[in-house]
Amino acid sequence: MGLKERDYLLLRDTLGSSEVLISPGRCSRPKETKQDAKGKCPFCPGNEHLTPPTLFRLPEKGNWEVRVFANRYPFFPSNKNHEVYGIHEVIVETPQHDALLHEMPVQTISRVMQVIRDRMSHHGSNERLRALMAFRNEGLRGGASRKHPHTQLVGLSWVPPRLVQESEAFLNMAEKGRCPLCLAPTDPLIIVEEESFRAFSPPTPRFPHESWIAPVHHEPAFANLKDHEIDDLAALLKKVLSALSKLSSQGRESSPFDYNLVLHTEPLNDESGTFHTHIEILPRYEALAGFEIGSGLMVNPIAPQQSVSELREILFT
């Protein structure tokens, strides 16, 4: 049965403040099969005909290193007049099917971050969009449907709850004269720095060893970052992900490092300048269970100070 635009709905919970996006097109999203390991992966070079047309690529000619195309199974309808209109793109990070982000060269990671920045800048002129967000899912617990390394970029015609909460928090803190992500150099939750970027534990981590990365100096929009800042981000991202991968394997034989990575940037209609763009790395050692889902209260067995200590031990010894 063909999907109709009316099948996409944004439902708001009358008992609370949550929102649910009904996106039936996601039902058709395929899971990776053994066939993909035999050259049938649509993200691999030579299989470009298995995906929607290329929207952007690097380099422009010759063999591509990064390739962008529309997600065949988008969260949103493409009609700009629809209430839940949005864009949904796939950014294939490398031609290598089995690569892991933390094992890629810094130059490769930097190229991916530059493409995310440039695509955000491109979509920033879309007057129907109110928010942009990039994310990547790694591993089964991270919700990945394909092994080939890729990031997804979404643009929404409304600001989703998490970004609303963060925007309001940044604004409230700014009225008190401070930004919660403009950390002092001596802040005990800092893990490691790389010139213009800093990695740290959030004061209220939802997941064990949750780590955030943000510019040292206040910057609301990811699209505003300069090339040298992107290079610093890539170097730091590699360090932190590598440390988290080593930490996740301790006491877990043959356990893959599953995680979610989320990139937040200021909402497109936010002119306050109080938002501080950042990346959240969310290790997924275990699946969410009934208590967390039923109560809305996350349970984390590792305090932020302990997380920082364990990560610094790996990074500096």
**Span 9-31, pLDDT tens digits:** 889 888 776 899 988 877 777 76
Answer with the residue of higher pLDDT: 135 or 286: 135
**Taking all residues of the chain, what is their mean pLDDT, rounded to a whole number?**
92
Confidence band for 118, pLDDT divided at 50, 70 and 90: very high
4 vs 63: which has the higher pLDDT: 63
**From edge to edge, which strands make up the β-sheet containing 54-58?**
54-58, 66-70, 86-92, 150-156, 131-138, 259-264, 278-283, 211-215, 197-200, 190-194
| Section 246-254 average pLDDT | 76
46-316: which CATH number, 3.30.428.10, 2.40.440.10, 3.40.190.10, 3.40.50.1100?
Answer: 3.30.428.10
What's the pLDDT score for residue 1? Answer: 40
Whether residue 297 is predicted with pLDDT greater than 80 in this model: the reply is yes
Dihedral angle of Cα 98, 114, 86, 96, to the nearest 10 degrees: -10
Buried b (16+ CB within 10 A) or exposed e, 139-168: bebbebebbbbbbbbbbbbbbbeebeebbe
| pLDDT of 33 higher than 80 | no
pLDDT tens-digit series, residues 260-278: 999 999 999 999 999 999 9
Domain boundaries, the chain: 46-316
Position 255 pLDDT exceeds 60? yes
Length of the chain: 317
Letter for the amino acid at 37?
A
pLDDT at 15: 79
Confidence category of residue 186, pLDDT binned at 50, 70, 90: very high
Residue whose C-alpha is closest to residue 1's, from 20, 22, 25, 23: 25
* pLDDT tier at 35, thresholds 50, 70, 90: low
138-171: pLDDT as tens digits: 998 898 989 999 999 999 999 999 999 999 999 9
| Tens digit of each residue's pLDDT (9 = 90 or more) over 56-68 | 999 999 999 999 9
Whether the per-residue pLDDT at 228 is higher than 90: the answer is yes
pTM score of the predicted model: 0.93
Greater confidence, 225 or 24? 225
Residue 315 CB-density burial (10 A; 0-12 exposed, 13-18 middle, 19+ buried): middle
How far apart, in whole angstroms, are the C-alpha atoms of residue 234 and residue 104?
Answer: 10
User: In the structure, what pLDDT confidence band is assigned to residue 38 with cuts at 50, 70 and 90?
Assistant: low
The share of the chain scoring above pLDDT 70, in percent, equals 93
Query: If pLDDT is split at 50, 70 and 90, which confidence band does 299 have?
Result: very high
pLDDT score at 8: 87
pLDDT at 17: 67
Decide if pLDDT at 133 tops 70: yes
Q: Report how far apart, in Å, the C-alpha atoms of 155 and of each of 230, 252, 280 are.
A: 21, 37, 18
Q: Which structure tokens are listed for 193? A: 């720095």
